[in-house]
Amino acid sequence: MGNTAVKRIGVLTSGGDAPGMNAAIRAVVRTALNKGIDCIGIRRGWSGLINGDFVKLDSGSVGHIINKGGTILYTARCPEFLDRKGRAKAIATCKMLGIDGIVAIGGDGTFRGALALTRQIAESGYKLPVVGVPATIDNDIGCSNYTIGFDTAANTAIECIDKLRDTMQSHERCSVVEVMGRHAGFLALYVGISVGATAVLIPEREVDFDRDIVEKIRSARLAGTTHFMIVVAEGAGSAVEIGKRIHEEIGIDPRVTVLGHIQRGGAPTGRDRETASRMGYEAVNALLADRGNRIIGTKEGSIVDLDMEEALAMVKNLEMYRYEVLEALTPSGT
């Protein structure tokens, strides 16, 4: 049975931005309006909920944004939300606006903030369900096979590295490229396989410099390769330092590129637009079905929703099988 008490919902984006967030916002707003529900955009994440930074959204507000990167609602970190007093201000804003539920689009930090908020609300006897939609280019949310933004970020990195490869081949050089991934190597390994990297360094695998870089470059050179591509997740080490060490130990003069926040920008791919649209649609349906405090995710291509506490306890382990694929396809001198 649907929840007829839901008259107005809020939507926000929090944490690092990811391509496809706008598509998710659009889906939430238009699904809500289709169901006869008002939608309030909370700007600058949880900070906006504390400070009352909001805008009423209609169908026109989210027109022509499905193809745009970033987020029209802006995003921000909010240390104040970690404190009970900060969350109390957020609750007061919800009461003042008459918000009956929230869709929070972001990553792990966003969802942990949502969980803390719902727990504090429950203590006061006030009901305000929150549904999370996973959007992070790191693809490291344990409860979901896929997160919004990963495909676009990967394709951006691949396009940049393909261009670097052209000049590396021309000059017979080594390139060290740092991609995002402070705690997870999903992006680096996916990109590394896609560009035919000589070596990939990820946080999940302890780096042995001789084994993981020196010997791979030597083997590739013995196999006839004269240019080398090393992909490094930022959490596995500094590309600059790795480049210096390659020069010291092998005598090669590498060119170092740190892709940085370019990976967060650009028009989202079809996969991110379509996934974000389905996730936003299901987030609103979860609130209407009185399934609050959930996280929307994907499982084998289908959209699912899971209990927030259980979902946040899940851990997504990198498939080391992918690393085996990379090694099998790397040129060898043996």
Confidence of residue 334 (pLDDT cuts 50, 70, 90): very low
pLDDT at residue 137, as a whole number = 96
The domain made up of 151-264 is a member of CATH 3.40.50.460: yes
Asked if pLDDT for residue 17 goes beyond 60, the answer is: yes
Whether the per-residue pLDDT at 183 is higher than 80: the answer is yes
From the list 143, 241, 133, 236, the residue with the least C-alpha distance to 183 is 236
Return the SS3 of 244.
helix
Q: Catalytic residue among 138, 151, 272, 305, which?
A: 138
Structure confidence by residue, pLDDT tens digits, 29-54: 999 999 999 999 999 999 999 999 99
Asked which of 141-145, 213-217, 262-266, 320-324 is least confident by mean pLDDT, the reply is 320-324
Structure-model confidence comparison of residues 190 and 126, the more confident one: 190
- Give the model's pLDDT for residue 1: 40
pTM of the model: 0.93
Query: What are the boundaries of each domain within the chain?
Result: 8-149+268-313, 151-264
Closest CA to 179 of 197, 166, 168: 197
The pLDDT tens digits for 70-129 are 999 999 888 899 999 999 999 999 999 999 999 999 999 999 999 999 999 988 788 899
Do 8-149+268-313 and 151-264 have matching folds? Answer: yes
- Please, are residues 161 and 177 in contact by the beta-carbon 8 Å criterion? yes
DSSP H helical segments within the chain, as ranges?
Answer: 21-34, 45-51, 84-97, 108-124, 150-171, 186-195, 209, 215-222, 239-250, 270-288, 308-313, 320-329
The SS3 assignment for 131 reads strand
Which residue type does 104 have? A
Q: Rounded to the nearest 5 degrees, what angle is found at the Cα of 228, between the Cα atoms of 190 and 328?
A: 50
- Quote the percentage of the chain above a pLDDT of 70: 98
Task: Please give the mean pLDDT across all residues of the chain.
Answer: 92
pLDDT of residue 167: 80
Instruction: Kindly report the backbone phi and psi dihedral angles of residue 28, in degrees, each rounded to the nearest multiple of 5, phi listed first.
Output: -60, -50
pLDDT band at 4 (very low <50, low <70, confident <90, very high): low
Return d(Cα 66, Cα 257) in angstroms, integer. 30
138 belongs to the catalytic site? yes
Mean pLDDT highest for which of 170-174, 194-198, 328-332?
Answer: 194-198
pLDDT of amino acid 173? 82
Write the CATH number of the domain with boundaries 8-149+268-313: 3.40.50.450
**332 — pLDDT class (breaks 50, 70, 90):** low
- Calculate mean pLDDT across residues 267-282: 98
Q: What is the pLDDT of residue 124?
A: 79
* Residue 224, pLDDT score: 85
